[in-house]
């Protein structure tokens, strides 16, 4: 079974996490809908819907239409510390576990940091 076949029916939250990771890893360049669809094993329309949901939620994704269009993650490589309450950390832990802490290196290190903050 190919990578695309395994992830074709991926749950929305997992697919959106992978989409954000693809954009973050390619921050220096804009990615086309076709490129993202191929990497995620979904249709271009699914990419468009997922990006729209993420943008609506406040995720910093730049959308450019047209022949030289595409998507780009518009955030810094590092961020300032974010003070979180134990309840907020617990919510994030649950979200990372739902995505799958081994779905990416970022998910694993995020989970490790969140768990360390709780102890």
* Average pLDDT, rounded, for the chain: 83
Output phi, psi for 115, to 5 deg.
-65, -40
Q: What is the pLDDT of residues 70-98, one digit of tens each?
A: 999 887 767 788 899 999 999 988 888 88
Examine the pLDDT at 43 and tell me if it is beyond 90.
yes
Task: Give the CA-trace dihedral at 39, 45, 50, 53, to 10 degrees.
Answer: 160
């Amino acid at each position: 079974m190919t990578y695309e076949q395994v992830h074709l029916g991926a749950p929305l939250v997992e697919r959106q996490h992978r989409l954000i990771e693809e954009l973050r890893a390619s921050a220096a360049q804009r990615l086309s809908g076709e490129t993202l669809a191929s990497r995620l094993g979904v249709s271009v329309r699914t990419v468009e819907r997922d990006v729209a949901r993420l943008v609506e939620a406040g995720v910093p994704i730049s959308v450019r239409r047209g022949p030289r269009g595409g998507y780009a993650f518009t955030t810094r490589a590092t961020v300032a510390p974010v003070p979180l309450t134990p309840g907020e950390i617990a919510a994030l832990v649950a979200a990372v576990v739902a995505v799958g802490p081994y779905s990416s290196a970022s998910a694993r290190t995020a989970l490790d940091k969140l768990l360390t903050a709780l102890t």
